[in-house]
Amino acid sequence: MKTYTKNLVPRARAMRRTMTQAERKFWFECLHQSPYKFRAQRPIGNFIVDFYCAELKLIIEIDGERHFNKAAEIYDSERTVFLNGLGFRVLRFSNDDVLYRIDAVKSELTKYLNMTPPSLRDTSPIL
């Protein structure tokens, strides 16, 4: 299955330049010094995910206010099912968690990274 949509690249680049405050904080406080290589705003399928690590088959989404209504919850659920079907694990944090409870976010992320089995640490990139 094709996992990379080339026509989304310009939009992804623009999104990297205009990350939200929560995305920027998450990047610099949680991922920037990570021993794993994370990429911001990566096209996967017909979606652009917030953060992606090929080695861990991990996608991290930072959800703002627009994610908290019924239609958005359905869309996010379908998106997660699609991404899980490609072999990715999707972690979600809210903007408020990142902005106001960053230590709890770091703790949850660290716990996940420490429990990820070596079999999920594929060194060849999927994209």
Q: What is the CATH number of the domain that holds 33?
A: 3.40.960.10
Least Cα distance to 93 among 111, 108, 110 occurs for: 108
Does any domain span residue 124? no
Is 90 inside a domain boundary?
yes
Report whether pLDDT(119) > 80: no
Decide if 84 is inside a domain.
yes
Residue with the bigger pLDDT between 124 and 6: it is 6
Q: Which domain holds residue 98?
A: 6-116
Q: Residue 16 is inside which H or E element, if any?
A: helix 9-17
Is 1 within the bounds of a domain? no
> Residue 126: its pLDDT value, please?
38
Distance CA 56, CA 58 (A): 5
**Considering its fold, how many domains does the chain have in total?**
1
Report the 3 state secondary structure along 24-80.
Answer: HHHHHHHHCCCCCCCEEEEEECCEEEEEEECCCCEEEEEECHHHCCHHHHHHHHHHH
Rounded to two decimals, what is the model's pTM? 0.80
Structural domain contains residue 89:
yes
Is residue 65's pLDDT more than 60? Answer: yes
- Cβ-based burial of 22 (10 A; exposed 0-12, middle 13-18, buried ≥19): buried
